[in-house]
A and B are shown apart, each in its own frame.
Chain A
């Protein structure tokens, strides 16, 4: 009995210190970890593919004006499945390695993005002109941006 306890103590001492010093020292996740989502405003062209596949309905899309589309990402309920990053044709939306997302305000867990679109002359649906110079010629681009009268 006593010997067993002694042996147990030896095993415990041999193990040394196992506790992570975590909040004092960083402990990064393994590569491939899926953390908080981000969206690259320069790459997104508002196709809505991500909103279509998101199982948690994180991504809302609405056409604010004729020429602007607003994406809202309420990531408080994101399940970090990575479907959005998988389907995005431009790799605009991505999952970062960030996990330290604790907050005391629910409003902090929102990302919004305004995408400027040009409506097709025939069908009226929005599309993004292929080059930057073409974008400047689209009337809506000016109006929505409030740039030129």
Chain B
């Protein structure tokens, strides 16, 4: 439902506002990179705007430091609905190396309702474009939770191929 609504509302033009919530600047450089003619995000109607009141989407990078959290909250309140929140980079998706530090809250989803996660440290410009294209419904999702278990006796008896090298 939300996806369809977003497609309809944002399909032609997605204006973004970029917020740095304690990022090391790696992700910010990649976001700017996406807007250069080489990657040309304006093909999809993506434009960087200077005020959150003009934006449809918020790009957050950084692990959300304690100091910036209230400002980020106010920033989100200034964004008109319907709105999208993208967490860009490992810091924003999960806290990065600082996930358990006292000075950070550990990820954008601790403060904001994040709609799309784009992991990477920093994510390649292609990865950011992919995330935005995924949000617009142009490309399919490629990741899912993976749960493995080593083969138990029944699977071994059923002849599950062994790929483990036997060492003596």
Contact = CB atoms under 8 A, between A and B. Distances in A.
Contact of A56 (B99, B116, B124, B139): B99
Given A41-B150, A113-B149, A116-B152, A99 B120 contact: yes
A102 interface: yes
A108 B114 CA distance: 14
Chain A binding surface SS class: loop
Interface stretch (B13-21, B32-40, B50-58): B32-40
Nearest to A72: B147
A136 B157 CA distance: 10
Given A101-B119, A102-B116, A112-B148, A19 B38 contact: yes
Contacts, number: 173
A145 B118 CA distance: 36
Interface string A70-99: 000011111110000000000000000011
Nearest to B44: A23
B55 to A, nearest CB: 19
B117 A147 contact: no
A78 B119 contact: yes
A141 to B, nearest CB: 7
Interface in B117-168: 117-121, 123-124, 126-127, 129-131, 133-135, 138-139, 141-154, 156, 162-168
Given A40-B163, A80-B121, 6 more contacts: A22-B126, A56-B96, A76-B94, A104-B117, A132-B166, A142-B153
Interface of B: 37-40, 43, 90-91, 93-97, 99-100, 107, 109, 114-121, 123-124, 126-127, 129-131, 133-135, 138-139, 141-154, 156, 162-168
Interface of A: 18-20, 22-23, 27, 29, 36, 39-44, 55-57, 74-80, 98-116, 130-132, 136, 141-142, 144-148
19 contacts: A19-B39, A19-B40, A20-B126, A22-B130, A27-B126, A44-B150, A77-B96, A98-B142, A99-B127, A100-B126, A100-B130, A103-B116, A108-B144, A109-B143, A111-B148, A114-B148, A132-B162, A141-B153, A142-B153
